[in-house]
Amino acid sequence: MLENINQTKQEFTNELQNTHDLQQLEQLRIKFLARSGRIGGLFEGMKTAAPADRPMLGKALNELRQYAQLHYDAKKADLEQAQKPKEIPFDLTLPGRMKNVGTKHPVIQVMEEIKRIFISMGFSVENGPEIESDYYNFEALNFAPDHPARDMQDTIFIADKILLRTHTSPVQIRVMEKQKPPVRAIMPGWSYRNEAVSARSLVAFHQVEGLYVDKGVTFSELKGTLVAFAKQFYGSSIKYRFRPSYFPFTEPSAEMDITCYLCGGKGCRICKYSGWLEVLGSGMVHPHVFKAVGYDPENYTGYAFGMGIERTALLRYGIDDIRILYENDVRFLKQF
Ligand code: PHE
């Protein structure tokens, strides 16, 4: 009889292991645990056992019943749990959290586009220091000793004759000092002026300088290059004009205008009712500048130009206040 009990336990255990759904489990229950089942039958058999063996057999049988019930219950709970739909700890129907993806600042975008256009025309890109000496920023560029730009009112000085460059033109001097002609380079970077911040001007802003020096470079090449640039950058349908101007380091000098983006040339507040907007300064490199860097002005000619990047961004995107570029208002920056 004891052997029978052990065998029943073994069988129950094996069959339970092979039970994979609630239907099978119910059959197992009927087979072993129901009143007329195997365990019930064993209890029934007690009646015919020797009276002396009964306490021992009863104990073993009770243990078997407990064991079977316990494992049956546990298995039932497992199978029921597995049947339930999985509870998901979050709501899949909620809209996702949008990631804020950063973009390039409009000034950087404009800068990169200008670079791309000039690089495609064969220009290289050069850099120079933002802290400059009077020599590179003014003297070598043919500024007269009493030129108003050399005044504290217009220029931010750091020490005697040491200043924050007021334009990128000093990089022209540095490039020509280290390189023999031909030179064909653009020079982008920060520039600084001691000016009141307004809708039109900032204290710190970017410029990009251009310089082309070789034998026989002409003013018509200057025009051709700048017009080709303006058409690529502002669109092929723009109208442009060159106006005589003055810079100490170029002679002759000219400023380039394009038709106003807002009124298309009719005249409005943005273009001060002229219909035109200035986009850059330019001219043929002054012989004094060539002399300062040791180029022979009898042999070489060249042109130079410079434009403000922030102002270019205003023209390109139709923005009417330069300060908004550096307010870092995400609602503004997101539009680029
Ligand atoms: N450096 C001049 C400015 O800051 C621009 C310029 C550059 C003009 C090169 C002529 C040639 O206004």
> Whose CA is closest to atom 7 on ligand 1?
306
Give residue 210's pLDDT: 98
Distance CA 161, CA 41 (A): 113
Examine the fold and report which residue of 33, 48, 83 is the final residue of a domain before the chain moves on: 83
Instruction: For residues 201 and 242, state if they share a domain.
Output: yes
Report helix, strand or coil for 72.
Answer: helix
Give residue 192's pLDDT: 97
CA–CA distance from 312 to each of 20, 71, 278 (Å)?
74, 81, 9
Ligand 1, residue 167: give the atom nearest the CA.
Answer: 4
Whether 101 maps to a domain, the answer reads no
209-268 pLDDT tens trace: 999 999 999 999 999 999 999 999 999 989 999 999 999 999 999 999 999 877 888 988
Give residue 152's pLDDT: 77
Domain with 160, as residue range(s), is 106-333
> Whose CA is closest to atom 2 on ligand 1?
306
310 or 46: which leads in pLDDT: 310
Instruction: For residues 200 and 279, state if they share a domain.
Output: yes
Q: Which long-range contacts (CB under 8 A, 24 or more apart) does 25-28 make?
A: 25/72, 25/75, 25/76, 25/79, 28/72
13 or 87: which leads in pLDDT: 13
Instruction: For residues 296 and 242, state if they share a domain.
Output: yes
Distance CA 110, CA 128 (A): 20
CA angle 99, 100, 106 (to 5 degrees): 155
- Contact status, residue 240 vs residue 230, Cβ threshold 8 Å: yes
> Whose CA is closest to atom 4 on ligand 1?
167
Give residue 153's pLDDT: 80
Question: How much distance in Å is there from the Cα of 308 to the middle of ligand 1?
Answer: 9
User: What single DSSP character describes residue 333?
Assistant: H
Chain Cα centroid distance, residue 290: 41
Give residue 211's pLDDT: 98
Instruction: For residues 56 and 154, state if they share a domain.
Output: no
- Ligand 1 pocket, residues with Cβ under 6 angstroms: 167, 169, 209, 247, 250, 281-283, 304-306
Whether 60 maps to a domain, the answer reads yes
Instruction: For residues 162 and 256, state if they share a domain.
Output: yes
Give residue 298's pLDDT: 97
Sign of the four-CA dihedral 180, 291, 192, 226: negative
Q: Is the peptide bond before 89 cis (omega within 30 degrees of 0)?
A: no
Whether 94 maps to a domain, the answer reads no
108-131 pLDDT tens trace: 999 999 999 999 999 999 999 999
Whether 45 maps to a domain, the answer reads yes
Give residue 308's pLDDT: 96
Whether 89 maps to a domain, the answer reads no
Buried-exposed string 298-317: b where 16+ CB fall within 10 A, e elsewhere: eebbbbbbbbbbbbbbbbbe
Best of 132, 136, 169, 183 for a ligand 1 pocket test (most atoms within 8 Å of beta carbon): 169
DSSP codes joined into one string, 152-216: TTTS-EEETTEEE-SSSTHHHHHHHHH-PSPEEEEEEEEEE------SS--SEEEEEEEEEEETT
Give residue 116's pLDDT: 98
Instruction: For residues 189 and 275, state if they share a domain.
Output: yes
The CA dihedral of 247, 248, 252, 255, to the nearest 10 degrees, is -10
Give residue 48's pLDDT: 87
For residue 66, give the amino acid letter. Q
Give residue 106's pLDDT: 95
198-212 pLDDT tens trace: 988 999 999 999 999
Instruction: For residues 206 and 60, state if they share a domain.
Output: no
Whether 92 maps to a domain, the answer reads no
Question: How much distance in Å is there from the Cα of 235 to the middle of ligand 1?
Answer: 23
132-152 pLDDT tens trace: 999 999 999 999 999 888 887
Does position 88 have pLDDT exceeding 80, yes or no? no
Question: How much distance in Å is there from the Cα of 217 to the middle of ligand 1?
Answer: 18
Instruction: For residues 59 and 112, state if they share a domain.
Output: no
Instruction: For residues 198 and 249, state if they share a domain.
Output: yes
Distance CA 8, CA 39 (A): 8
Give residue 101's pLDDT: 84
Q: Which residue's entry shows tokens 């009493």?
A: 146
14-72 pLDDT tens trace: 998 999 988 988 998 999 998 888 888 888 888 888 888 888 888 988 898 999 999 99
257-282 pLDDT tens trace: 999 877 888 988 878 899 999 999 99
Distance CA 235, CA 258 (A): 11
For 38, residues 6+ apart whose C-beta sits below 8 A from its C-beta are 8, 11, 12, 31, 32
Whether 175 maps to a domain, the answer reads yes
Report the CATH number that the domain containing residue 119 is assigned in CATH: 3.30.930.10
Instruction: For residues 52 and 181, state if they share a domain.
Output: no
Instruction: For residues 111 and 67, state if they share a domain.
Output: no
Q: Which residue's entry shows tokens 């920060």?
A: 190
Q: For the chain, what is the mean pLDDT?
A: 93
Instruction: For residues 167 and 251, state if they share a domain.
Output: yes
Domain count, the chain: 2
Whether 88 maps to a domain, the answer reads no
